[in-house]
Structure 1
Amino acid sequence: MLRNKLLLTLCLIFAGIGAYAQTGSLTGRVLNTEGEPMEWTSVQIPKLGIGVSTDKKGEYVVPNIPFGTWEVEVMYLGYNTQKTKLTIGSAKVIKNFTLESSSENLEEVVITGTLKEVRKSESPVPVTIISSKIFQRNVTSNVLDALYQVNGINPQINCNMCNTSDIGINGMQGPYTMILIDGMPIVSSLSSVYGMSGIPNSIINRVEIVKGAASSLYGSEAIGGVINIITKDAQNASRFFLDYNASTWGELTGNTGFSANMNDNISTIFNVDGYYYNTPKDLDKDGFMDKTLQQRLSFFNKWNFKQKYNKTASISVRYYNEDRHGGELGWDPAHRGFVEYNEYDNDRNSGGYNGDYVLPNGYSIYNEKYAKGFRVPRFLNESDRSEWKKEVSAVHSDAAFAEDMKYQESIYTSRLEIVGRWQLPIKENVTLQASYNQHDQNSAYGTELFMAHQKTAFGQAFWDRQFGAHTLLAGASYRYVWFKDNTIASNNGTKPFETFLPGVFIQDLWKMSAKTSLLLGYRFDYDQTESANGNHQNAVHSPRVAFKYAPDSQNAFRASLGTGYRVVNIFSEDHRALSGQYEATFGENLNPEKSISGTLDYEGRVATEDIGLTYSLGAYYTHFFNKIYPKRDDRNRTLVYYNVDGDEYARYIGASVDIALNFNFPLRLTAGVSYNQAELFEYERDDEGNKVGDKIEASDFEFSPRWMGVYSAAYDFTPRFTVDLTGEWKGPMLLPTQGTMETFDAEGKVTGSMTDPRPERSPRFMKMNLQLTYRVGNVEIYGEVKNIFNYIPKNLLVNVDDPFNDRAGVYGGLQFDTEYNYTAQQGRTGYAGIRYRF
């Protein structure tokens, strides 16, 4: 009997050992909330004392795990540890993890809101961080196109002929956004319209965005907000990288670069980026190209230096060259530079004679060397055409004529940027920064030639130190802007626009407690501007206060109040004035624009074993003083610039919501919605801008939609295969239309009228893009369809048979113009590309 019990006990023991000996493996991938693989992340089962680290793709395999239910810990410094109970009951169990950065540990560092490095969670100023990885979720050739994915950011197309764009924040137009590269204000004024498309995504480490006035730190132009494009450091870049793609429209984009460590302290990165598109398309059959033809090339080189006391230095150089043109199909490039013949009489000694200068608008300076000859007007009959040519030849026997010249807008751009930063190799935190840029532009808008040259130099020094709960920062800066063109901005090239802008600033970041912090800032600038509009000197005071309250690590409230200003600057910002569609004049000596702006922001987080949710709510109010605006007279084709005065003002008010969802399976969702009300409150005025009543009237600003939003979804079918869905939508926005225009006969008598058929407000629309990415080792192969639903705006142009307004100028009616736009005309487009990093 005892023997049988002993045998039974031994059998049960061996059976248990056999059961326990059954093992399986746990495998999967670890990503951060932005979908980036996390290398060297620890995946452990503490009770069993086993664990592994992820590889560079974020993948891991934990082998030989006994069957059973175990608690798995996933840990990485600076991220919240994730603990999950998993049952191992088969040979292979797959589990992917998404880690959120922790506000209690090391996390993302931002500099844009306070000018010094602080953890994002501790900054009283809300800063939106856009990782370079996000740009790869949608095929774009430059940062301007990529920023369509950011809620509250409105890249606006200024011209449906040349496709130039700028970036607005919170409903404001592009000129009120300060764009920085590595903290330096070198993309502004002229280059904000033509230079942004030349910044390739491949050189960008991240983009930091501050919404709201920031002039207390950054001075002029930071009224609507700041976009700081931070380039990659050489020591952190791939040794070799490339990214090439092609589209079904015939676009070719290529990017190649490398980085190298010269020694332990010196490293460099070099990048070449190019874009080529030369396939005219006219899907709406209006006789004009839907997308501007472009050829651009950009070179970038950056050097990083390590110094004593862990201080760093860097210098970067970028050169950008572009040739773009769009317009009527069949344009002959040889006709570029032919202008209108503006002879008022045949007396060479009279003020009305300007035929010998062959210059637009009758001006006699600055364009003379660029004009090649005369465009032959589109006469109603051949006899009038022949008679006109005889009259011109009588004055200019060797006159060159452009027969049947097509309307085109052609822009040659050349740009040089130099940026340097040096932290002094001493124990104190002293930083010196300097930048220089030179922007040259040669443009032809039909027969109007726009030649512009701009130089901007900037220097800044600041010191910061912590005193207990206070972190003080103080500094001084100097900015010099020189600009010359052939418009009223510089009196046709005779009076260059110059701004001398010295400034000092101070800031105190006071950590009042573990939950609250207060930022107090003040800046003083002395604006000395000399221009054709008149000289002025202004002392500008820019205070700011920001407050943050975080009751716990999952919630944060922020509030800020600040002022903004912008020196008088209208050049390059109004396509109507530049292209000759309207004659621009100053109605008065313009004063700098000023504003006061307040923002409220709440950010919250919810994290469980199954889901991670981040959400933010924001609201803002901006009140403009001295707002500069053009009074447009469609009949006389004039733009007269004024400051709002007295009880007149401009107002921007709005709110936004952003959410990001991450699941314990590889799905990531984001969405954002913004509401903005941008209005001008002014007295009733006549066509010349004169006040005709005491009633204040409210009107919407053009190109500012009340509602707009973005969305995205990403899913990893396998660690190698990812699908990204991205998109944007916009509500109606006010657009510039001509209303009802009278028509005349040859004697100037009214014969009737014509009404602009284009709607005053744009329709609602949505665009969606789908991208597939497959990874093999260091290679990524991707394909995308953009604008899946093939949304194309309609009725953008009027009077397409008379683009030079030969007949409309005499007989009245609708004028040809290219300013009516609300989204790109490019329809559904397929892309295929490859990336490689080593």
Structure 2
Amino acid sequence: MKWYILCFSTLIGFSGFSQKSVINGQVQSDGKGVAFANVYIQSIAQGTAADASGNFTLRNIPFGEYNLRVSSIGYETYIMNLQVSSAEVVLMIELKEDKATLDEVVVTGTMKEVSRSESPVPVEIITPQLFKKNPTPNLFEAIGMINGVRPQLNCNVCNTGDIHINGMEGPYTMMLIDGMPIVSALSTVYGLSGIPNSMVERVEIVKGPASSLYGSEAMGGIVNVITKEVDKAPLLSTDLMGTSWQELNLDLALKQTIGKTQGLLGINYFHYQNPIDNNDDNFTDMTLQKRLSVFNKWNFKRNAQKEATVALRYVYEDRWGGEMHWDKAWRGSDKVYGESIYTKRIELISKYQWPLKEKVYTQLSYNWHNQDSWYGNTPYEAKQQVAFLQTFWDKSLSDQHSLLLGASFRYTYYDDNTPATASADGLDNDPSNTPLPGLFIQDEWRLSDHHKLLVGYRYDYDQVHGSINSPRLAYKFSHNKRHILRTSFGTGFRVVNLFTEDHAALTGAREVVITEALSPERSINGNINYEIKFPADSWYLGLDVTGFYSYFTNKIVGDFDSDPNKIIYDNLDGHAISRGVSLNMDFSFNVPFKLMAGVSFMDVYQVEEDDNGTESKIQQLHAPKWSGTFTGTYTFPSYWELDLTGQWNGPMRLPILPHDYRPEYSPWFAVVNIQLTKKVSQKLELYGGLKNIFNFVPKDPIMRPFDPFDRQADDPINNPNGYTFDPSYNYASMQGIRGFLGVRYRVLD
């Protein structure tokens, strides 16, 4: 009898378990359906994708208790405990927008706040959430996570560098903070070091000329660092990280409130004083540094929600690299080689919205940069001041037309002890004073729900080069939310700034020679961008493909080859071209795994004509034809997360000396990092991992490190090829594999 009761009870239990349910629901955000959201129950491996209106259906779900996971690009992942005990379950799921994703508000492409998907100009974004997957002590390294953007180290001793976009050198990249040209010219090399990551909301990148809005220097692209809105920032956030190389980086942000005024104080401190020489060339593999950056931003509350902000940043840095036994007693001597750089910098940024019915804004910025440097026994002392004032009117003429009309004035003072500021006869110092007024207009025309056209024009006047015209045209077609086509055409220009031309020579190894008065560079650019999304029941794939082509005239070219002791600068007798294709891929799955990857093919070269009219093609230095990035994230239960990140590059042309035994092109290489993160609570997070897990470092980065002052340069016995000391043969960091540990702590209001 007991056996019969047991069997009967078991059959009843199985019968109950075998009951199935249908789950119908809608995924919404702010009252609107979220198209193609992923809905998944991991324990039974069943899921689906919502339709264009956010509606979804899950069939044949056994009765029971589950965790339902809902995710969509642009929104925070939603997890709910779901009890299924009836034939039909109806759900209404509300997703919150995720500012850490790639469909947030952007401003760089059009100088207006607009959803990234609505922008007629393609804008790429990197956020602090992406920073955390590969923690770095400065933005210079972090930006390398963007496909087609390469932080390039230009010197193996002082480790200074710049940002290359689509293979174009640093002078072609305009650096902005909150839309202001605060990091440019002299500070391009050092300006991204020391911006506290805790102050950064996101970094927006526009590839290709944008001079119609931003003027000179915006020829290759724009990197715009957007700082956090004070009222939305945490009360306190800290990030402390150390590495096995004894690097220490502290990032801190603290919100302040004084009456109706709110401020955000950001502090970054970086300390590295551990000389390492793993390749046994008697030179430091990484520059020793002490850096302090203090950033304070204030937001003033006004009537009618009018904007008024002021931000101030101070940076001090002491860095040196050189022979292992160098110390400050040898600074500037010809006995022990070292490159020692003291940098002081002050920046001011402000934005004010006028108390009018119309949207009228005035922005201003000012920066003061002082640099005291020695490259061996070669001094480099420089001062730069840049003042920028801009006023613009943002006017909606109708539902179809959105107008932007503005005027700007930029004034640059620059003085140093190089040929950049020498008088015409070369006998006296003649600091440069460069005013650059400009006018710009832009109309964003919504032709229909699917078509948008942007037309822009800028006029600048330079006291040397005269009138400069920069038109721009962009078009966007969106058949639906899954397909977006963008195409654009524009021009760019760059007024000569000799510092950006001769900084590569400041190593004590080469003399700068400027053959004639340099003319402004001009470029014509066209690109086409196609974005498509493939949602499925168990996965999501997003593709972003861009083809680009830029044609440069009057390109300023540095000749490293004619004389090993000189860099000779001249306008190119010919033209230069940057062309290629980039592909970005975004994968997400119903399992807690996400993958972002990108690959770029670039062909960047110059065509020069000699005295006989014969043309020759020369590949651009430090511009690999193939490159890519990847970020893979797997989330484990109990708030553990594993990140694998990396950048890879194909062969790139390098600056070699005559009869150089080193190869002219670098090898294929990848720098890969791994990290494990534990979220202990809403406030506390621990992380650690390995950088450069394959331990890749370049070979023979410095020519003749044993003779940095070229005492044996003319010795036919010991130096039959006439080699000279040269640290510019660079294509990757000399830091090999190393471990890191860190802790993050955050307190909300």
The amino acid across from 2:152 in the alignment is Q
Within the candidate set 673, 676, 695, 1:790 is matched to 695
Q: What is the match of residue 818 of structure 1? A: 727
Q: What is the match of residue 490 of structure 1? A: 421
1:590-616: CA deviations, max 9, x gaps?
111111111110001112332121111
Within the candidate set 661, 672, 676, 1:768 is matched to 672
Distance change >3 Å, CA 545–CA 334, structure 1 → 2: same
1:804 aligns with 2:709: yes
Distance change >3 Å, CA 86–CA 139, structure 1 → 2: farther
Q: In the TM superposition, what is the alpha-carbon distance from 1:314 to its structure 2 partner?
A: 1.0
Q: What is the match of residue 394 of structure 2? A: 464
> Matches of residues 365-404 of structure 1 in structure 2 within 5 Å?
375=334
1:747-791: CA deviations, max 9, x gaps?
xxxxxxxxx221111111011100000011110000010100111
1:152-173: CA deviations, max 9, x gaps?
1011001011111110111100
Within the candidate set 566, 570, 573, 1:642 is matched to 570
Q: What is the match of residue 58 of structure 2? A: 85
Partner Cα distance (2:332, 2:285) in 1 = 23
Secondary structure at 2:560 match in 1: strand
Within the candidate set 654, 657, 681, 2:580 is matched to 654
Q: What is the match of residue 481 of structure 2? A: 553
Q: What is the match of residue 617 of structure 1? A: 545
Secondary structure at 1:197 match in 2: coil
Say if 1:69 and 1:86, in contact at 8 Å, map to a contact too. Answer: no
Q: In the TM superposition, what is the alpha-carbon distance from 1:74 to its structure 2 partner?
A: 9.7
Q: What is the match of residue 328 of structure 1? A: 323
Secondary structure at 1:788 match in 2: coil
Partner Cα distance (1:72, 1:173) in 2 = 46
5+ residue gaps, structure 1, are 1-11, 27-43, 49-61, 339-374, 376-404, 529-535, 685-690, 741-755
Partner Cα distance (2:599, 2:412) in 1 = 37
Say if 1:71 and 1:86, in contact at 8 Å, map to a contact too. Answer: no
Secondary structure at 2:498 match in 1: coil
1:517-557: CA deviations, max 9, x gaps?
100000000012xxxxxxx2421000000001111110011
Say if 2:196 and 2:266, in contact at 8 Å, map to a contact too. Answer: no
1:428 aligns with 2:347: no
Q: What is the match of residue 159 of structure 1? A: 155
Say if 1:243 and 1:254, in contact at 8 Å, map to a contact too. Answer: yes
Partner Cα distance (1:818, 1:16) in 2 = 80
Deviates more, 1:768-777 or 1:485-494: 485-494
Q: What is the match of residue 412 of structure 2? A: 481
Partner Cα distance (2:537, 2:677) in 1 = 28
Distance change >3 Å, CA 635–CA 526, structure 1 → 2: closer
Distance change >3 Å, CA 94–CA 653, structure 1 → 2: same
1:69-101: CA deviations, max 9, x gaps?
9999999xxx98473527665764234332223
> Matches of residues 698-737 of structure 1 in structure 2 within 5 Å?
698-718=617-637, 720-737=639-656
Partner Cα distance (2:287, 2:96) in 1 = 48
Distance change >3 Å, CA 642–CA 21, structure 1 → 2: closer
1:239 aligns with 2:235: yes
5+ residue gaps, structure 2, are 1-7, 27-39, 76-94, 98-102
Q: What is the match of residue 37 of structure 2? A: none
Partner Cα distance (1:797, 1:420) in 2 = 44
Secondary structure at 2:496 match in 1: coil
1:561-605: CA deviations, max 9, x gaps?
000000111214444532232221221111111111111100011
Secondary structure at 1:145 match in 2: helix
Count matched residues: 692
Secondary structure at 2:189 match in 1: helix
The amino acid across from 2:447 in the alignment is M
Q: What is the match of residue 831 of structure 1? A: 740
The amino acid across from 1:451 in the alignment is E
Say if 1:470 and 1:508, in contact at 8 Å, map to a contact too. Answer: yes
The amino acid across from 2:457 in the alignment is Y
Within the candidate set 171, 182, 185, 1:175 is matched to 171
1:694 aligns with 2:624: no
Q: Over the residues paired in the alignment, what is the CA RMSD in angstroms?
A: 3.0
Partner Cα distance (1:572, 1:69) in 2 = 56
Q: What is the match of residue 332 of structure 2? A: 337
Q: In the TM superposition, what is the alpha-carbon distance from 1:47 to its structure 2 partner?
A: 7.9
1:773-810: CA deviations, max 9, x gaps?
00111100000101001111111122222110012056
Q: What is the match of residue 116 of structure 2? A: 120
Partner Cα distance (1:71, 1:718) in 2 = 19
Partner Cα distance (2:516, 2:502) in 1 = 18
Q: In the TM superposition, what is the alpha-carbon distance from 1:294 to its structure 2 partner?
A: 0.6
Distance change >3 Å, CA 719–CA 599, structure 1 → 2: farther
Within the candidate set 49, 62, 74, 1:101 is matched to 74
Secondary structure at 1:226 match in 2: strand
Q: In the TM superposition, what is the alpha-carbon distance from 1:22 to its structure 2 partner?
A: 12
Secondary structure at 1:808 match in 2: coil
> Matches of residues 246-395 of structure 1 in structure 2 within 5 Å?
246-263=242-259, 265-338=260-333, 375=334
Partner Cα distance (1:68, 1:452) in 2 = 66
Secondary structure at 2:614 match in 1: strand
Q: What is the match of residue 3 of structure 2? A: none
Distance change >3 Å, CA 779–CA 489, structure 1 → 2: same
1:215-246: CA deviations, max 9, x gaps?
00000000001111000111111111111011
Q: Percent identity?
A: 43
Say if 2:105 and 2:115, in contact at 8 Å, map to a contact too. Answer: yes
Q: In the TM superposition, what is the alpha-carbon distance from 1:426 to its structure 2 partner?
A: 2.5
The amino acid across from 2:621 in the alignment is E
Q: In the TM superposition, what is the alpha-carbon distance from 1:630 to its structure 2 partner?
A: 2.2
Partner Cα distance (1:643, 1:719) in 2 = 60
Secondary structure at 2:687 match in 1: strand
> Matches of residues 519-534 of structure 1 in structure 2 within 5 Å?
519-528=454-463
Secondary structure at 2:171 match in 1: helix
Q: What is the match of residue 505 of structure 1? A: 440
> Matches of residues 123-134 of structure 1 in structure 2 within 5 Å?
123-134=119-130
Partner Cα distance (1:69, 1:820) in 2 = 52
Say if 1:165 and 1:193, in contact at 8 Å, map to a contact too. Answer: yes
Say if 1:736 and 1:820, in contact at 8 Å, map to a contact too. Answer: yes
1:142 aligns with 2:138: yes
Partner Cα distance (2:341, 2:663) in 1 = 29
> Matches of residues 719-758 of structure 1 in structure 2 within 5 Å?
720-740=639-659, 756-758=660-662
Say if 1:97 and 1:665, in contact at 8 Å, map to a contact too. Answer: no
Within the candidate set 187, 193, 218, 1:191 is matched to 187
The amino acid across from 1:829 in the alignment is R
Q: What is the match of residue 675 of structure 1? A: 601
The amino acid across from 1:593 in the alignment is E
Q: TM-score, normalised by structure 2?
A: 0.87
Q: What is the match of residue 380 of structure 1? A: none
Secondary structure at 1:221 match in 2: coil
Partner Cα distance (1:276, 1:147) in 2 = 21
Partner Cα distance (1:189, 1:719) in 2 = 48
Say if 1:762 and 1:822, in contact at 8 Å, map to a contact too. Answer: yes
Say if 1:46 and 1:72, in contact at 8 Å, map to a contact too. Answer: no
Distance change >3 Å, CA 22–CA 166, structure 1 → 2: same
Partner Cα distance (1:17, 1:794) in 2 = 69
Q: TM-score, normalised by structure 1?
A: 0.78
1:172-200: CA deviations, max 9, x gaps?
00110001000000111110012222223
Deviates more, 1:306-315 or 1:296-305: 306-315
Secondary structure at 1:705 match in 2: coil
Partner Cα distance (2:141, 2:57) in 1 = 40
Secondary structure at 1:235 match in 2: helix
